[in-house]
Structure 1
């Protein structure tokens, strides 16, 4: 997105965010300015965070009572808190002194966490109060087998890259934590096959063999340190939040730039790949010697590159850090707005929920679940948009028969973070949606929008998740703070290593839709 258009959207948001009508049962946001949503969302982070360690919990109850904090956190949660604090300072919610103090406390705690020595990667779960690596799940006492996730570590690394540029007072601390993080540890150089000069990223690894039924592969791609047990899967779909691993690894100079082209946009259009959601239209194009099938899907007159599950955070969360529209003028610039329109079409005109914004979030019936628009995802089973898991199967011409389309959908579940992510691309529709959610449901509390709403039953998941609140803070920070996170992330290696390969690609999408 150009600076001029970004400024225009920010003005529109500033004009329209303040009059969002509060739901009757929810307290009005503090203050009347357009920053009220940011301020209330930041309040949830303040409540989630253990002050002594600077570590956020994974989630907290809707009343922000510290007693309802979860007793676990993850690298992604910690990264979400770090970048959200930067946004809070930039938009005037906390002082510079407070930002520096909070950041240094969190980084000091990160330095104390146990991590995998050979790769410098963090494990998935820690106690935010004691900083202990979890081997017992605090909710039910089950065994936790320590696992290093490539995508979770990528989000934390992205936050550290932002900190070192946005908070120079903590630059050395951030760099000292970032330097040992080696993402080539996940990089399978023959993930696409021996004849393709770029590989794929593994989902992560365990230190010791995981229990059945987990599938694992012993190995060590770098040869540094002992053998680990990799996930059997690699990340082969590019239009997913997992592309952040590629962005970070390329920016740090740890994998070849050609890796950008190794994950599939869609899988090919032959029956060998007929498990995917629909038969794509496209052709192979060569970039840096890597064959890329530039395929697309269609839905309700729109042509787009599918995400894995059909949800919003896969599409737009990496865009919080990498200026995909500016750097990918023939790829992402043709994609993001159209993808958002597809979600709107599904919610308003196909499923006829009257609302839209589908992304993994808290389940209003309890727990956590993936939500999405099934037909907009690569995965055959897909993420569905309602509690009844109403699926679509349009078939794969010549290989798999189509099934009848659903006559009706059930209790659709929308999440506010998906709508906020969409603000730069469909601003009026997104602002209207946010206002409707506050007007029609008990959807807003002391920490901003609750995590998810089942729109036909009216059930609301009244809790706050660090990840989802971090997406709201990040998206609004870029929108109202002139690309603060993107600018901080891209200085240095991203500009040098990542931008040139992004500029090469042309998605097989119309220039205008």
Structure 2
């Protein structure tokens, strides 16, 4: 809603006597209007604090009421929409966001422990399928909500995002007071219960879905490169149901077929992004696996993962600046393509994975904001653009709205957990390395990475 300021123009008509009499009325004095101060501009530090606080609010103030986990979506124009639908992966991001909130002093520590305990108690009793949770869960009952007709069972990828959160919680609270240690133990038990090896079907590969009704009919093999790297890392790291290194080499890396020798805008692409035709994919591929998995100094036989994720972000940034489709508004301070709500050219709305091969003129704020570790200067330009220039239209009750388009003068007053959930952790990784250091400190993570042939100069293995 636009706010208009109206100024009254006052005309003073003084009828003065023609005489010079001393009792002639004095002219009225027109009061000087009080100037309206300009919007106070945030400094870089203030802006980072504010966007983290705002994004965390999605998981604290707008959580599903019973489970205290993340709602799939929150629509400010229809708050009751799917109010009971819990998202597994987005909840994992929410667990890490809450830890950032505690560390920053935005959330009282004891209240966070109580809230997280409620959430993990819910997950203990919720439907599981060979240890994996479904993509969506009914927050009132704990029962699966089908993501699709045949997608009504275990979702291993969403489960891996949740397990990133479990391990982060465990490492953060394991040396705390009695309640904190109990929470850490609960997180550890949930992580240990996932049967990663079941999801290989006995092959040297992982599969995304299993259904009690449709078994393996979804048949979605996890092959690189996309957002699923963390799934293989955790599957190899499992102390109870691990997979072999061969599953990673043959299934994910396709025996070296994952490597890409090309470049875009002068930056090596490094790996083949699935379906991107030699270009890069949506930016969430540089975020979801790397909220916990630290790409700094991380290498294996196929990539330097800092180069991979940083180049991915720089390519998207340069693509938006070059703006080959000539969309209005794209610039060095208004950029970022990833999966989000979208506005189609025919005026309809939906959801899509924005990327160079699928550019609809829509900017997704989570793309640049969650890329702070990779492109701090470029991401800061976008953050200040949002909060110092466009806050009244592009920022709402839980931070930046999910998507907007300068081309079509369009913004959706809506939020998605998986988009809000990467903002605070990734900005914190840029600022202090908090979530990276917690996750990488987990002993089994190091074991799993070494098993798959990874080394890390940042974490000394």
TM-score (norm 2): 0.77
Aligned residue for 2:75? 61
Name the residue aligned to 1:498: 449
Aligned positions, number? 387
Cα deviations by residue, 1:199-254 (Å, 9 ceiling, x for unpaired): 22112111113xxxxxxxxxxxxxxxxxx3342231222x3111121011012150
Could you list the runs of 5+ residues in structure 1 that have no partner in the other structure? Answer: 1-16, 21-30, 191-198, 210-227, 268-289, 375-383, 387-411, 506-513
Query: SS of the counterpart of 2:296?
Result: helix
Match of 1:240 among 226, 249, 253: 226
Measure the CA separation in 1 of the matches of 2:149 and 2:220: 23
Contact (CA 8 Å) 2:294, 2:440: kept in 1 or not?
A: no
Written as runs of structure 1 = structure 2, the 5 A alignment for 1:87-486 is 87-116=100-129, 119-134=130-145, 146-168=152-174, 169=180, 170-188=183-201, 190=203, 199-209=204-214, 228-237=215-224, 239-253=225-239, 254-263=242-251, 290=255, 294-304=259-269, 305-308=271-274, 309=276, 310-328=281-299, 331-351=304-324, 352=326, 353-354=330-331, 355-364=334-343, 365-374=348-357, 384-386=358-360, 412-438=361-387, 439-440=389-390, 442-486=393-437
Aligned-residue offset at 1:123: 1.8
CA 1:502/1:312 → structure 2, altered by over 3 Å: closer, same or farther? Answer: farther
TM-aligned CA deviation for residue 496 of structure 1: 2.0
Separation in structure 2 between the aligned mates of residue 326 and residue 51 of structure 1, nearest angstrom:
41
Residues of 1 paired with 2:407 and 2:400: CA distance? Answer: 18
Q: Distance in 1 between matches of 2:67 and 2:85?
A: 13
Q: Which residue of 1 aligns with 2:28?
A: none
Structure 1 consecutive aligned stretches of length 4 or more whose deviation exceeds 4 Å? 142-145, 290-293
Q: Distance in 2 between matches of 1:339 and 1:46?
A: 31
Residue 297 of structure 1: SS of its match in structure 2?
strand
Equivalent-residue separation in structure 2 for 1:40 and 1:372 (angstroms): 26
For residue 136 of structure 2, give the secondary structure of its aligned residue in structure 1.
coil
Structure 1 residue 144: Cα displacement: 7.6
Q: Indicate conservation of the 8 Å contact 1:158/1:489, yes or no.
A: no
Q: CA deviation at 1:84?
A: 1.3
Contact 1:357 1:418 in 2 (8 A): yes
In the alignment, structure 2 segments of 5+ residues that lack a partner are 1-40, 175-179, 457-461
Report the alpha carbon displacement of residue 339 of structure 1 after superposing the two structures with TM.
1.5
The 2-side partners of 1:482 and 1:18 are apart by 23
Q: State the Cα deviation string for residues 44-100 of structure 1 (Å, max 9, x = none).
A: 22232134422221111237x854563312211221221111111011111110111
Question: Could you say which residue in structure 2 is the equivalent of 1:13?
Answer: none
Deviation at 1:292, TM superposition (A): 5.2
Work out whether residues 319 and 356 of structure 2, in 8 Å CA contact, stay in contact via their aligned partners in 1: yes
Q: State the alpha-carbon separation in 2 of the partners of residues 102 and 481 from structure 1.
A: 24
- Cα drift, residue 471 of structure 1: 0.6
Supply the distance in 1 between the matched residues of 2:410 and 2:150 (Cα, whole angstroms): 31
Greater RCO, 1 or 2 (C-alpha within 8 Å, sep 6+): 1
CA distance in 2, matches of 1:361, 1:188: 32
Q: Secondary structure at the match of 1:296?
A: strand
CA gap of 1:87–1:485, structure 2 versus 1, over 3 A, is farther
Are residues 232 and 260 of structure 1, via their aligned partners in 2, closer, same or farther at CA, if it must alter by over 3 Å? closer
Distance 2:273 2:132 in 1: 26
Q: Is the radius of gyration larger for structure 1 or structure 2?
A: 2
**Cα distance in 1 between the residues matched to 2:362 and 2:447:** 41
The 3 A distance-change label for structure 1 pair 46 and 472 is: same
Note closer, same or farther for the CA distance 1:144–1:235 as it changes in structure 2 (3 Å cut): closer
Counterpart of 2:56?
A: 42
1:493 deviation in Å?
A: 0.8
User: Conserved in 2, the CA contact under 8 Å of 1:207 and 1:229?
Assistant: no
Contact 1:90–1:481 under 8 Å retained in 2 = no
CA distance in 1, matches of 2:264, 2:161: 31
Calculate the TM-score normalised by the size of structure 1.
0.69
Q: How does 1:16-55 map to 2 (within 5 A)?
A: 18-19=42-43, 32=46, 34-55=48-69
Cα drift, residue 344 of structure 1: 1.1
Alignment check: 8 A CA contact 2:298 2:455 kept: no
